[in-house]
Chains A and B, each alone.
Chain A
Amino acid sequence: MLALKRKPFHGGIHPTGHKELTANEATINSDEPQRVYLSLQQRNGVVLRSHVNVGDTIVKGQLIATGPNDMCVPLHAPINGVVDAIGPHVSAHPSGLKVNTLVIRGNGDPNWGIPHVPCDTSKLSPEEIIQRVLDAGIVGLGGAGFPSGMKLRFARQKQVHTLLLNGGECEPYLTCDDRLMRERAAEVAAGAALMVRAIGCSQGIIAIEDNKPASIDAMRSAISDRPQLSVQVVPSLYPMGSERHLIKAVTNQTVAPGQLSTEIGILVHNVATAQAVYEAVRYQRPLIRRIMTVSGGALEQPANINVAMGTLVSDVIAKCGGLKMEAGRLIAGGPMMGQVLPSPFVPIDKSIGGILALSKDEIRAEQSHDCVRCGRCVNACPMSLMPFQMAAHSRISDLDGARHFGLDHCLLCGACSYVCPSRIPLVQYFQHARSSLNAARTMERKSAQARQLTEARQARLHREAEAKKAAKAAKAARKPRKRTARTSTRTQRNTSNNTSSS
């Protein structure tokens, strides 16, 4: 009952953490990989334009590709070496989609190609800070991968009053944010202070789940000389890392469905993003490495590892001693919301915070049964939806029915599937329904566009016909013979009628 009272929001679950596998080991700094594979297509589908060609020698930190606008972060070379190839390579997309990928062969030299000297960050204006974040190619490292600089700029325009740093890390197995806060607390704090200044808000709150006491201590001592920052401990409850739920837990405010958190004056960033912002602003270093958790029961040596972007998953697993048993699935991200990797040769990108090699015992895949309406999913749903009803409607592709029961609000957090005693793959149904809805909406948009064009064309034809008619009438008015003029007008009217009816 006490636990119930302390719950900051309805629902949520306490999945088995498995964090002890990696939480107490120092982060390993991985060597320069022999090859990196950098996707030229971003998560949002935009294709970057490469500034280098096959055979070019490039240096670590060099800008190698850019996109058409600020919504696409620029791409930098994570290692020194030579461009080996530009061609299709398997991506992290669950379908195993091949996208245009730039391959760099490394020469093993770990030094930056361009010197990155520290600067006095206190002299930088907020715009300069945001520009440096944009130039460094930083995206949200929590998993969504939204360009951080854009988020900061948007928050500044919206006059946000609070920056909330998400150190929740509620997904089981993942400990990279925990390790980062323990090992680089000062950098996280400095990054947070820079972000507070960039958006011009009054305070920054670092929210940490209560199952990470070492991180809480480290962050508390790191922010002791920064009065604008504070640490707030939140209960460990999945999905605490969800933006809306973290805001509710920290400030007791709720963000209405369909609204952004900036509407109530709060901007949420991940702690790892704050650390990347520090490096970007102080040293002008681009984001070319990240700390990720490599864990799972099938892995020989689970660890947190600092890897270069573009390293293959197979290389990362090999660095962690390889697999000790047959893995059931390879997952990018955590076990709750992570995605199945379609191949071990997928390169790491900026938004992959973990790689899990899960054994069959951990996955616990079982045949699903009929729903017994036990209501466990309703109790577990952090959005207070009725997952079993949504699944029943999604199953028969009754998309309106599924939306009626809250499909649009679903976070796809998987809490319902985790507790379902009938092992119903609820999230699978929701994803099916969501993508069907998206497809339907795209079709609708397309047909609306087509309709608009057709109407515009008809209006134009009509206008032209009218103009012709008017010209003819004017011509006829100048001529003395009225009879022919009337006949020609009638014919003209008939033709215009035909056009509009067709």
Chain B
Amino acid sequence: MVQFTPVAGPHTHGGTSTTDLMYLVIAALLPASLFGVYLFGINALIVLLTCCCGAMVFEYLGLKLLGRSSHSAMDGSALLTGLLLGLSLPPSTPWWIALSGVFFAIIVGKTVFGGLGQNPFNPAMLGRVMLLICFPVELTNWQQPTPPTMTDGGLAMNNHWLNINIDGISAATPLSQLAGDVSQSLPSFTELSLGQHAGSLGETSALLILLGGLFLLWRGIIHWRIPVALLLGLAIPAAISHLIAPESFGSATSHVLSGGAMLAAFFIATDMVTSPTSAKGQLLFGAGCGLLIWLIRSFGSYPEGVAFAVLIMNATTPVIDHYLRPTVFGQAKRFPL
């Protein structure tokens, strides 16, 4: 039937959908997730699955509470929140702690504000910070990676990997080393980029996260402004301070490659809902995140500052969007930028 009722143009569409975007981001995170499971074993898998499934269930309940169509639970946004939270947790986190984190992220972080697109704060980081404050011991119990090794008899899996021995081998993360004594031997550049060190489940391999991020850039899902600004905002102060006082400040490479910096640059700070939309705003937001990460890491009481930095900058997003608007075409520029 030809539609003769008036509708506004355009009468065609580029074809992208929010659901596609969400699942592409999830796909970009898969290599880092699988690598995390390879490094840290079965418990890591349990954490990830708890977070992902829990996020979907809570999203469904949240949509019911809001009286919305529950189809949107499948749009990938909740799954992405769950996955990001899971990746930012230590691999030895008990499943019930992960689940309570996901509950907080979805229900308090998202549903309470009115669902998709309405939340001022990144839900995954809200969940992460809530857990860090409520369960400081479990959330800072870092495990040494114990990947299966290739032997003559085939793939040899150790007990830590298979989660038979509950007490994993605790180890310091590169960041806690940075916060403590810099003179201790830090993991090398290769170790940091490949992820052969203790840390959160999905944050250890900077290289895989970078690859995922480059995939998103190539597909046009994210823009380069926030990642580049964040990494520069972190690297520049780190490099300067390291130059002045190498004994008390970590180098730019160790800052950029360790902890959640890469994950934050490409996957967390670039969250569409909670980041500014204008070009100038995105640059400022990214640089602010990077600078805050460095400040918290260098001077704060927590060794890692990604979650706090992102949440603080999320709070500034409405202000940034209000003031740093694009100049209307043809109008004289307000700020000569």
Contact = CB atoms under 8 A, between A and B. Distances in A.
Interface residues of A, number: 73
A10 B331 CA distance: 13
Main secondary structure of the interface of B (DSSP, over half): loop
Interface stretch (A181-189, A216-224, A377-385): A377-385
B9 A414 contact: yes
Contacts of B117: 370-373, 422
Contacts of A364: 12-13, 15
B14 to A, nearest CB: 5
Pick the most buried of A369, A371, A414, A419: most chain B CB atoms within 10 A of its CB: A369
Contacts, number: 170
B184 interface: no
Contact of A340 (B4, B72, B276): B4
A374 B279 CA distance: 12
Contact of B1 (A326, A371, A418): A326
Interface in A65-101: 94-96
Contacts of B165: none
Taking residues whose C-beta sits less than 8 angstroms from the other chain, chain B's interface range is 35 or more
B11 A421 contact: no
B326 A418 contact: no
Interface in A349-400: 356, 358, 362-364, 366, 369-376, 378-379, 381-386, 388-389
A433 to B, nearest CB: 11
A337 B5 contact: no
Interface in A414-436: 414, 417-419, 421-423, 425, 427-428, 430-431
A335 B14 CA distance: 12
A427 B10 CA distance: 8
Contacts of B77: 372
A256 B330 contact: yes
Contact of B10 (A96, A328, A337, A421): A337
B332 to A, nearest CB: 8
Contact of A335 (B2, B11, B115): B11
Interface string B1-40: 1111111111111111110110000000000000000000
A254 B333 CA distance: 12
A15 B12 CA distance: 9
A340 B5 CA distance: 7
Given A341-B4, A374-B272, A378-B278, A335 B9 contact: yes
Contacts of A244: 329-330
B10 A386 contact: no
Contact of B277 (A94, A341, A386, A414): A386
A339 interface: yes
A237 interface: no
A303 interface: no
Nearest to B13: A364
B149 interface: no
A136 to B, nearest CB: 31
B13 A384 contact: no
Contacts of A201: none
Q: Which among B21, B272, B326 has the greatest number of chain A C-beta atoms within 10 A?
A: B326
A257 interface: yes
Nearest to A388: B277
B290 to A, nearest CB: 20
A211 B263 CA distance: 40
A343 B6 CA distance: 11
B325 A328 contact: no
A13 B15 CA distance: 13
A252 to B, nearest CB: 13
Q: Which of B12, B16, B18, B21 has the most chain A CB atoms closer than 10 A to its own CB? A: B12
Contact of B17 (A328, A363, A421): A421
Interface of B: 1-18, 20-21, 72, 75, 77, 115-118, 223, 272-273, 275-279, 282, 321, 325-332
7 contacts: A339-B6, A364-B13, A369-B75, A374-B272, A414-B9, A423-B13, A425-B7
Interface of A: 9-10, 13, 15-16, 94-96, 172, 244-245, 248, 254-257, 259, 326-331, 335-344, 356, 358, 362-364, 366, 369-376, 378-379, 381-386, 388-389, 405-406, 409, 412, 414, 417-419, 421-423, 425, 427-428, 430-431
